[in-house]
């Protein structure tokens, strides 16, 4: 069996994209999805995304982690899917699509894709960290040592499987304060079970958490990740974060066919 695929990346967060408007891809084949995402035996990616038809909106997003399981919202994946939809001619510049957490608006401006995230009405403030859900669950904490040399994989893994998260798990973000509106971020992603070069829902969680704690008073925050830079803008009303936009580049890397 041959599968036509496209490879996209958004600040180093990379995805296998498949046009599934004919609904021929077997979404129940966890082993196949895992193999396609494998960097040695497949194409290699942090996740796999299907673009599917939607009865009333521009398209539907179906996202799988690299382990082959369908997962919660992926911000960079959503931005890459918008770029993919434009490249396919499904959309021109702006769109509305459905993901697992609901409807998302998006715009393409030059090389950037701007993705509107869902409102966030709760930030849990703990002694050592913060926790919030930006379409996916995120643990956010400052590092006491240089973030560049911090052991993200081992520490992130211990938090991801530890109390109170256990088997369901969480994504884990480590943060370093640069200036009033800029933060460095490294993220351990569940489902990938490793550090990724970027995490869209992760930097969104960091931006809101930093504002909530008063580390920034800005409503547009720059986030430096291993794969580049993203921006998150937002508003706040009655302790609810609204009008949240994740902004950054999303590009096609290559396309091809793979034998399965």
Widest Cα–Cα separation across the chain: 54
**What is the rounded distance in angstroms from the CA atom of residue 251 to the CA atom of residue 17?**
12
| pLDDT value at residue 168 | 86
Q: Give the strand pairing for 2-10 and 13-19.
A: antiparallel
Q: Is the Cα dihedral 71, 206, 252, 105 positive or negative?
A: positive
The string of pLDDT tens digits covering residues 120-163 is 999 999 999 999 999 999 999 999 879 999 999 999 999 999 99
Give the mean model confidence (pLDDT) for residues 49-55. Answer: 98
Q: How confident is the model at residue 1 (pLDDT cuts 50, 70, 90)?
A: confident
Of 207, 228, 227, 204, nearest to 216 (Cα)?
Answer: 207
Helices and strands per DSSP (H, E), number in the chain: 4, 17
The string of pLDDT tens digits covering residues 178-191 is 999 999 999 999 99
Q: What is the mean pLDDT of the chain?
A: 97
Question: Is residue 212 predicted with pLDDT exceeding 90?
Answer: yes
Q: How confident is the model at residue 167 (pLDDT cuts 50, 70, 90)?
A: confident
Give the mean model confidence (pLDDT) for residues 248-252. Answer: 98
Give the mean model confidence (pLDDT) for residues 63-90. Answer: 98
Residue ranges of domains in the chain, CATH in brackets: 2-116+250-259 (3.10.310.10), 124-246 (3.10.310.10)
- The DSSP line for 47-101 is EEEEEE--SSSSEEEEEEETTS-B-S--HHHHHHHHHHHHHHTS-SSEEEEEETT
| pLDDT value at residue 166 | 86
Give the mean model confidence (pLDDT) for residues 47-57. Answer: 98
**What is the rounded distance in angstroms from the CA atom of residue 145 to the CA atom of residue 185?**
13
Question: Is residue 106 predicted with pLDDT exceeding 90?
Answer: yes
Active-site annotation, residues = 74, 199
| pLDDT value at residue 17 | 98
Question: Is residue 88 predicted with pLDDT exceeding 90?
Answer: yes
């Amino acid at each position: 069996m041959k599968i036509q695929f496209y490879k996209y990346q958004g600040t180093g967060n990379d995805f296998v994209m498949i046009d599934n408007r004919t609904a021929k891809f077997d979404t129940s084949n966890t082993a196949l999805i895992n193999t396609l995402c494998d960097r040695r035996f497949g194409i290699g990616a942090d996740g796999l995304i299907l673009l599917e038809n939607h009865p009333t909106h521009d398209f539907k997003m179906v996202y799988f982690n690299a382990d082959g399981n369908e997962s919660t919202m992926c911000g960079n994946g959503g931005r890459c899917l918008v770029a993919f939809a434009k490249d396919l001619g499904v959309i021109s510049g702006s769109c509305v699509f459905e993901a697992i957490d609901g409807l998302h608006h998006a715009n393409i401006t030059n090389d950037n894709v701007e993705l509107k995230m869902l409102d966030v009405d709760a930030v849990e403030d703990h002694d050592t960290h913060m926790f919030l859900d930006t379409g996916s669950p995120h643990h956010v904490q400052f590092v006491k040592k240089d973030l560049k040399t911090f052991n993200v994989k081992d520490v992130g893994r211990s938090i991801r499987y530890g109390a109170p998260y256990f088997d369901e798990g969480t994504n884990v973000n480590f943060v370093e304060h640069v200036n009033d509106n800029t933060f460095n971020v490294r993220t351990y992603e569940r489902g990938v079970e490793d550090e990724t070069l970027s995490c869209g829902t992760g930097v969104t969680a960091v931006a809101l958490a930093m504002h909530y704690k008063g580390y920034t008073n800005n409503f547009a925050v720059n986030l430096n990740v291993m794969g580049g830079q993203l921006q998150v803008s937002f508003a706040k009303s009655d302790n609810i974060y609204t009008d949240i936009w994740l902004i950054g580049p999303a590009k096609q890397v290559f396309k091809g066919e793979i034998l399965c």
